[in-house]
């Protein structure tokens, strides 16, 4: 670890010869003082940070934004609501399991299952076990199941529930009080705005996309990726045809039929726009990679990263490399004066022409037009960054021994 930090320090020294480093933009704040052993830590996509510590051997404490829980012997499934105002997890003392939320502590069953918030953040559902029966507490009802596999799915308002059942080697989707026909294999996708559920089903060698029992697409030989938008009005699907070529499909109620892309040798790494029926994905054709933004192809370079949208969808961006690396924002390319890995997580403030990333030991922000960078303090390890629009800054968590820091850079 010390050798890695020395190497990073040398790299930053040589970068500073050619680039102005303005350290006064970056700050650090200690948030855990090291009095308890850190087991795990991270940030959600909104405004929260969390950590799991070990105050005593065999006991764990959950810390959210500095608020400390009682010690527990087990914990499971920490989740945050999409709007960032609520959180929940399961925890067990020496006697039983509890459902712990931001404002309640409630005893539950012998064992616990899954926690899910609705898209509008208004409802939380959970499951627990009594013997071999799983009980899903949903909208003041209890749903019993013994054959559920995979995740629980809720519609945006939390009025409908779906999950996959497995009976022997066959699968079906349970959607409220409705159960679909059986398939050899199912890939759940999510609810549509009409209350029906989207999924991919395979019988034999071929897959189709279904809404409840209605087929929406041609048969495919494989489903690479599928996702429905939070507002449930559009979805993106990457699939492979029996002929071997790959396509991207956009489902949108404004169109009578699915919109299907041109054929590619390969497609992957799809990301949906957060609020509009648009998507971006990585594609390969004739041994060259590109990023496709809806139907527009953008050259990805000899090495191509994955596409991202900013939190509000204002910008689509990705990293690529030829002789030198570059950042492409909405089709505009910014050359970088040194190589950076394309497979890291990058964060971007909308409209700023800046990106942030973690080197493994520091938070770095690049100003692309000025070709400047700023960097925070050196740490032993660090999380990927986020742009927090609530505080208007880039943020990451960094650890030195058993001390935890919030690292921030203003732009």
Q: Could you write out the DSSP letters of every residue in 124-177?
A: EEEEEEETTEEEEEETTEEEEESSEEEEEEE-TTS--EEEEEEETTEEEEEETT
Q: What is the pLDDT of residue 14?
A: 39
Q: How far, in whole angstroms, is CA 290 from its chain's centroid? A: 22
224-252 pLDDT, tens digit each: 999 999 999 999 999 999 999 999 999 99
What is the chain's Cα-based Rg?
A: 23
Order of strands across the sheet that contains 206-211: 185-191, 197-203, 206-211, 214-215
> Ramachandran region of residue 140, left (φ > 0), alpha (ψ -120 to 50) or beta?
left
What does the pLDDT read at residue 100?
A: 97
> What pLDDT does residue 146 have?
87
What 8-state DSSP symbol labels residue 98? Answer: E
Res 153: pLDDT: 97
Is 54 strand, coil or helix?
A: strand
d(CA 144, CA 113): 13
pLDDT digits (tens, 9 = 90+) for 81-127: 999 999 999 999 999 999 999 999 999 978 999 999 999 999 999 99
Segments of the chain scoring below 70 in pLDDT: 1-23
pLDDT at 303: 94
Q: How many helices (H) and strands (E) does the chain have?
A: 1, 41
């Amino acid at each position: 670890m010390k050798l890695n930090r020395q190497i990073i320090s040398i790299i930053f020294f040589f970068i500073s010869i050619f680039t102005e480093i303005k350290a006064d933009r970056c700050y650090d704040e200690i948030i855990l003082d090291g009095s308890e052993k850190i087991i795990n830590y991270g940030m959600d996509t909104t405004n929260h940070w969390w950590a799991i510590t070990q105050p005593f051997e065999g006991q764990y404490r959950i810390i959210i934004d500095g608020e400390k829980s009682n010690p527990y012997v087990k914990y499971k499934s920490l989740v945050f609501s999409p709007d960032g105002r609520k959180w929940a997890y399961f925890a067990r003392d020496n006697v039983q399991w509890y459902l712990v939320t931001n404002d309640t502590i409630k005893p539950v069953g012998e064992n616990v299952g899954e926690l899910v918030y609705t898209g509008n953040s208004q409802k939380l559902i959970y499951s627990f076990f009594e013997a071999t029966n799983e009980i899903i507490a949903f909208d003041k009802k209890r749903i019993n199941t013994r054959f559920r596999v995979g995740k629980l799915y809720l519609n945006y308002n939390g009025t409908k529930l779906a999950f996959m059942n497995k009976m022997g080697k066959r699968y079906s989707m349970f959607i409220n009080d409705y159960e679909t026909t059986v398939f050899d294999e199912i890939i759940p996708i999510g609810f549509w705005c009409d209350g029906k559920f989207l999924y991919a089903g395979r019988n034999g060698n071929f897959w189709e996309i279904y809404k409840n029992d209605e087929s929406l697409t041609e048969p495919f030989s494989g489903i690479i990726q599928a996702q429905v938008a939070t507002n449930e009005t559009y979805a993106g699907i990457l699939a492979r045809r029996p002929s071997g070529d790959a396509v991207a499909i956009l489902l949108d109620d404004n169109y009578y039929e699915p919109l299907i892309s041109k054929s590619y040798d390969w497609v992957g790494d799809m990301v949906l726009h957060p609020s509009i029926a648009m998507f971006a994905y990585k594609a390969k054709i004739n041994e060259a990679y590109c990023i496709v933004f809806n139907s527009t192809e953008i050259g990805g370079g000899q090495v191509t990263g994955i596409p991202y949208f900013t939190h509000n969808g204002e910008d689509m961006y990705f990293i690529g490399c030829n002789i030198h690396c570059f950042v492409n924002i909405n089709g505009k390319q910014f050359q970088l004066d040194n190589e950076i890995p394309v497979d890291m997580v990058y964060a971007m403030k909308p409209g700023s022409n800046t990106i942030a990333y973690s080197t493994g030991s520091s938070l770095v922000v690049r100003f692309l037009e000025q070709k400047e960078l700023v960097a925070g303090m050196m740490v032993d390890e660090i999380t990927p960054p986020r742009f927090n629009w609530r505080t208007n800054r880039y943020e990451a968590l960094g650890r030195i021994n058993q001390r935890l820091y919030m690292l921030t850079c203003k732009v």
